[in-house]
Amino acid sequence: MKDIMRILLISLLSFTIISCSNKDKSESGSNIKLSDVNANLSGKSLFITTVDSSSSRSSRSSNKTSPTSTDSLITIDNNSNIDYGIISDYDLEIEQVVTDPSNTYSYILMKYNGGHSNLSADKNIRALNCSIFRVNLENNEMKCIEKGIVILGVKENITNTRDIYAKPVLDFSDNGKFFFITPWTYDFSPNEDLKCFKYCLYEHNPVSSTTTKLNNDLELEASRFLVLGDGQVVYTGWKVDNGAQIYINGEPAHSEILLRDENQNVIELSSSAGNGYHVDINSGDYKTVIFGSESSSSNSIVMARSISGTVKKTYIEIEGEWGGVVAIIKSNSGKIYAQGNNGLFSVLPYKKDLLVSTPDEVKNNSSNSEMCGSSITCFLFYEIIDDIVIYKHINYNYTNKPITIKATKISDNKTISLVEPDSNCTSNCYSVDSHLSTDHAGWKPNWYSQGNDFYISVNNLSTNKNELIKIQLDKIDFNGSSNQYNLMNDLDNYMNNKSTKDISGLNVLNSNTTTPTAQIQYEDNDTKSVRIEFNNKMNFSDVESKVSIIDNSSNSDVGFMPIWNNKTLHLVVDTDNGTVFDYNADTLTSGTTYKVTILGTAKDSDGNVLGSDVIKYITP
């Protein structure tokens, strides 16, 4: 279904380009200038973009900063004061707000509908010849990042991620650069070397104010990407021949997982037979990529990275009743999980037993196209914050298919329904965000977490009104009753009957202490991995060079694949040191004692050292 939708999109785009080819692309129909647009993000912590809903649009509210505020971007500060984020006499539609890791700048991503649209917002974007704007969060200074570039929209990005978990459309590297995807540049006037026929991946250097196009879109259309450390980026896409889709056995051809390293070399990380790799991928916080099996004959999770141009791979063989790997999910606790057909499991540290089970009505109907469409997850999605798993599923036994949102505490397996409809669906009866509900993309949850606050955009099935739910994770009573949430009703006067398109905000920043510490953690009988938990953010490359696993009986080094998540370094054991690609795990030997060491000279990201070696002996 996903590929059929994509073929239709390509056809419509081609028609649009042909029908508009005789138009003067410089004719925007607007005289807007950047000086006519003012940002109002300074001092704000939460950003909500909106879109017209099916309900009739009401008159503009009197609560606005001025008569010229646009209701396409709503902001909230730390004192819960609501305001608008863009002030302009001109109509503008905002897609997303993305904030850099240091909370220095936020990037406003503007919506453009394409096709030389006559919508006033589209005319204004064409006149500005820009859709990515950087805002200084100290003084609201606003700057166009690159002329002639159209940022990929929220809905199209979700559609491109094959009904699993959406990847960012703009994301940052630890070297100060950032990456983004554009669907095309037609209707705009970019530099010649930045022109894009369809789906291009770019790198932008804020220091030099230069943008580089990374893929040849006449050979490969980029569909998604993940940013790694040191300016590396991984991406996948569709193979094309001079812009025309290539087919293999009647199916659109996909690329393998491609890595562009710090030396601009492009390397294939995956080696899938047939039609390339197009299932979910994720990555650690440094240079390791983690994804599901490359082969239909294997059920192993793969971890891969490039070292000086050489690909290394390590495998974790799945045991128990996982039902295959659908997606890899990281928790801010440092642990890494996998979504299987049968539920949620812990990958690192590895545990074969189920943590959260897929509801029976979903599990028993995963091949039912009427219920699950083309979604590999059957529209079941997880978010993991510290020790709490938030997840939602559709109640198919109701005519209007409302959702239930649950929370499970991993430490004691207690579960509570945070949102649960009554038997008649007259109260607490919601579907997911209505903005995307015209197709399967609409069944993906629009949620966002910021510290202990968790936000979910929903559609009230009783009133057909979009609402924003807030759940305070630190106040969940797992021994209490259902429906532990609050509605953000104060937004009503600002939403103007619109729906929430996207939710984002400032990053929660935690400063390092001057005395870094490390604890080596090991799960009994685990032959697959060991982990080191730090109190500070560490210097990834320095720490990796100062960690070792030694076979105590032979005094020989044991290989491992390092993968970082937040302040945790997982050492995934691989006695072949990543050199044998046979889908088999090469683990520790039961009954043998191993010495795990991190040297006291290991540095955190501020240059502080541990001070003394940390050692732990383990015997699986």
pLDDT surpassing 60 at residue 4: no
The answer to whether 33 and 129 have CB atoms below 8 angstroms apart is no
Predicted confidence at residue 26, as pLDDT, reads: 45
Q: Mean pLDDT throughout 103-132?
A: 94
Angle (CA) 298 348 357, round 5°: 75
The Cα–Cα gap between 336 and 529 comes to 12
Provide the pLDDT for residue 63: 41
Cβ–Cβ under 8 Å, residues 97 and 47? yes
Predicted confidence at residue 27, as pLDDT, reads 56
- Which of the residue ranges 41-45, 158-162, 183-187 would you say has the lowest mean pLDDT? 158-162
Q: Are 243 and 197 in contact (CB under 8 A)?
A: yes
Distance of CA 465 to the CA centre of its chain: 27
The confidence score (pLDDT) of residue 564 equals 98
Query: Is residue 587 within 8 Å of residue 578, measured between CB atoms?
Result: no
**Helix, strand, or coil here: 489?**
helix
**Residue 545 pLDDT more than 60?**
yes
**Which helix (DSSP H) or strand (DSSP E) does residue 493 occupy?**
helix 492-495
pLDDT at 372 over 80: no
Residue 348, classified by CB atoms within 10 Å of its CB into exposed (0-12), middle (13-18) or buried (19+), is buried
- E strand map for 158-271: 170-172, 178-182, 200-205, 210-213, 220-227, 233-241, 244-245, 247-248, 251-252, 258-260, 266-268
Would you place residue 21 in the very low, low, confident or very high pLDDT band (cuts 50, 70, 90)?
A: very low
The band of 380, judged by pLDDT with boundaries at 50, 70 and 90, is confident
The pLDDT value given to residue 464: 86
**pLDDT confidence tier of residue 366, bands split at 50, 70 and 90:** low
**Among 64, 113, 99, which residue's Cα sits nearest to residue 84?**
64
Position 273 pLDDT exceeds 90: no
Residue type at position 162:
R
Rounded to the nearest integer, the mean pLDDT of the chain is 88
- Per-residue pLDDT at 112: 94
The candidate with the shortest Cα–Cα distance to 567, out of 332, 385, 350, 387, is: 332
Mean pLDDT of 150-165: 80
In this structure, what are the phi and psi dihedrals at residue 259, rounded to the nearest 5 degrees?
-115, 125
Residue 93 has pLDDT above 70, yes or no: yes
SS (H, E, C) 2-57: HHHHHHHHHHHHHHHHHHHCCCCCCCCCCCCCHHHEEECCCCEEEEEEEEECCCCC
Q: Can you give the residue ranges of every domain in the chain? A: 364-488, 518-618
Q: Check: CATH 2.60.40.1220 for 518-618?
A: yes
Considering only 269-273, 424-428, 460-464, 572-576, which range has the smallest mean pLDDT? 269-273
- In the structure, what pLDDT confidence band is assigned to residue 496 with cuts at 50, 70 and 90? confident
Task: State the residue for tokens 């030997």.
Answer: 589
CB 175 within 8 A of CB 103: no
Question: Position 561: which residue type?
Answer: M
Is the predicted pLDDT of residue 434 greater than 50, yes or no? no
pLDDT at 544 over 90: yes
Q: Which stretch of 55-64, 121-130, 275-284 has the lowest confidence by average pLDDT?
A: 55-64
Mean pLDDT of 127-142: 98
Q: Average pLDDT for residues 130-145, to the nearest whole number?
A: 98
Residue found by looking up tokens 């230069």 in the block:
210
pLDDT single digits (tens) 441-473:
445 678 999 999 999 999 899 998 889 999 999
pTM: 0.91
Q: Where are the beta strands (DSSP E) in 54-209?
A: 73-77, 82-84, 86-88, 94-99, 105-110, 132-136, 142-144, 170-172, 178-182, 200-205
Q: Which residue has the tokens 């994720």?
A: 282
Decide if 464 contacts 432 (C-beta within 8 A): no
In contact, 355 and 389? CB cutoff 8 Å: yes
Could you check whether the bond before residue 349 is cis, i.e. omega within 30 degrees of 0? yes
Q: What does DSSP assign to residue 609?
A: B
Mean pLDDT confidence for 488-516: 92
Which pLDDT does position 53 carry in this prediction? 66
Whether residue 502 has pLDDT greater than 80: yes
Residue type, 396: Y
Using pLDDT thresholds of 50, 70 and 90, give the confidence band for residue 68. Answer: low
| Sheet with strand 200-205: strands edge to edge | 170-172, 178-182, 200-205, 210-213
Tell me which of 102-111, 246-255, 530-539 is least confident: 246-255
Are 377 and 370 within 8 A, CB to CB? Answer: no
